[in-house]
Amino acid sequence: MKVLLGPVNNAGQPMALAKELRKQGIEAHCLIYQNNRFGYEADRVVSFVSNNRMDVQYQTLKDCLKDDYDIYHFWYRTLFYGGTYEYFTGFDLPFIKNRGKKIVYSFTGFDLRFQSECMQKNPYNVFKYGWKNVFSEESARKYLNFLRYFVDAFVVLDEEMQSYLPEATIIPRVINLDEWKFVGIRETDCPLIVHAPSFPTIKGTPFVQKAIRQLQKEGLKFNYREVTNLKHKEAMELYKKADIIIDQLLIGWYGVLTVEAMALGKPVLVYLQDDLYKPAKPIPVENVNPSNLVDKLRYILKDFNRRKDLSIRGRKFVEEMHDVKKVARQLMTLYKNVLNQKNNQTFRPDSFDDILYFKEQFIDSVGSVPYHLQLKKLKEQVNQHHSSLRELSKLKSMAHQNAQLQREVNQLRSKLRKYEGS
């Protein structure tokens, strides 16, 4: 079995799985476009160095088809994509399917978390506090309907995301426990609280900062650090020193940071949506939201025994649910089931959404100025600006000379008046 994962390395998850799949006998590779600010690695990084983004994507598709993968496991986008569903996003899928290959597609967040549904399900949803997607819900839904013609299995990371796509299979977030050893916490009179606002609006960072200021006014002893502008490995060292870690407060489920913190044995404060939380199988975190964050943070700061309990149970939970070795086996089972399918059995639409989606992409493409013409026009504008700047420089020089001459004329006139007066 040969599998390609990519082209977006969300929180390092595709690469972590590719590495483990290789250890378990699957020929897997992770390909990504560009690189990312957090420094996550990949087997292959493709840069948009060409003047034409589409040329790069066409060549990447050709190379991957030549490599003859059995399964293409896409994360967030396919090999053809634009951030807001432009550049014929997803139109590599028919070429892949025409060659008899299988497609698995992982949604990772707001590509599936539709605003209208999210605002109904989650009382603390991010849209309520100012978050705006770069693409419309209508575009996202049209893209999902298009995907259903070609995707053999949809994958999501957790129960919150599955609520938007019930037919998707949950493959949990992963962590390599060989790299994330248990550290635990120490008893201290001045705990260190760490928060990582990679996306402050999504993470609920303003609520965290407000709670910190409130508790500081009350005189509680603690230190507070925000993880910003650090590579992932650098952030990891700070997490190891933490006594309490605050993750996201608005999504309604925990993310990779929570998994990493629990692996280290750090107590975590994070928001779990009430209708998704299963008391029969409790998740060892302190469930908080913007309304009760101050009270619960005050409580856990004062109660070392509670922090210690979460520390121990958190590690055990991660070992059971998120160990990359176990999750990779779940993913291998999914891959094998997909390969055994004769055709796409996920969904058989009876509409023409795929054709309508193509029509809109085509109209957007021909309705706008082609890239090379845009580039030509831009270069012409730059040259015009340079010419204008040169002319302006000449005019400034002439103006300076004129001012100097005017001063000399004024001085001569002044002398002339003196002579005439005498």
Structural domains present in the chain: 2-174+325-366 (3.40.50), 192-322 (3.40.50.2000)
Separation in Å, CA 272 to CA 250, 258, 335, 356, 387? 9, 12, 30, 38, 60
Task: Using alpha carbons, select from 189, 192, 224 the residue that is nearest to residue 208.
Answer: 224
Q: What are phi and psi of 262, to 5 degrees?
A: -65, -35
Task: Using alpha carbons, select from 242, 161, 165 the residue that is nearest to residue 196.
Answer: 242
- Alpha carbon distance 233, 12 (integer Å): 12
Task: Using alpha carbons, select from 89, 67, 86, 64 the residue that is nearest to residue 76.
Answer: 89
- Sign of dihedral through CA atoms 188, 314, 168, 79? positive
Task: Using alpha carbons, select from 221, 348, 215 the residue that is nearest to residue 294.
Answer: 215
pLDDT bracket for residue 10 (50, 70, 90): confident
How many alpha carbons lie under 13 Å from residue 245 in its C-beta half-sphere? 33
Separation in Å, CA 115 to CA 35, 112, 133, 136, 392? 29, 9, 9, 9, 51
For residue 12, give the 3-state DSSP assignment: helix
Residue 189 has pLDDT above 60, yes or no: yes
- Alpha carbon distance 347, 145 (integer Å): 10
- Residues 363-405 have pLDDT tens digits of 555 455 555 555 666 677 777 777 777 777 777 778 777 778 8
pLDDT of residue 351: 66
Average pLDDT over residues 190-204: 92
* DSSP codes of every residue in 283-342: -SSEE--TTTHHHHHHHHHH-HHHHHHHHHHHHHHHHHHTBHHHHHHHHHHHHHHHHH-S
For residue 246, give the 3-state DSSP assignment: strand
Average pLDDT over residues 44-62: 83
pLDDT of residue 363: 59
Please say whether the beta carbons of 207 and 293 come within 8 A: yes
pLDDT of residue 262: 98
- Alpha carbon distance 52, 377 (integer Å): 15
Separation in Å, CA 239 to CA 133, 228, 297, 300? 29, 12, 18, 17
Tokens representing 366 are: 């021909």
> How many distinct helices (H) and strands (E) make up the chain?
15, 12
Instruction: Give the DSSP letter of residue 127.
Output: G
pLDDT of residue 61: 93
pLDDT bracket for residue 319 (50, 70, 90): very high
pLDDT bracket for residue 232 (50, 70, 90): confident
pLDDT of residue 130: 86
Instruction: Give the DSSP letter of residue 254.
Output: -
**Helix%, strand%, coil% for the chain, nearest 5:** 50, 10, 40
- Alpha carbon distance 215, 213 (integer Å): 6
- Residues 139-165 have pLDDT tens digits of 899 999 999 999 999 999 999 999 999
What residue has token string 């605003």? 115
Tokens representing 411 are: 């001085």
- Alpha carbon distance 177, 183 (integer Å): 12
Task: Using alpha carbons, select from 371, 355, 356, 378 the residue that is nearest to residue 87.
Answer: 371
Task: Using alpha carbons, select from 127, 165, 190, 112 the residue that is nearest to residue 347.
Answer: 165
Q: How many Å separate Cα 56 from the centre of its chain?
A: 22
The DSSP element (H or E) to which 121 belongs, if any, is helix 115-121
Instruction: Give the DSSP letter of residue 191.
Output: P
pLDDT bracket for residue 279 (50, 70, 90): low
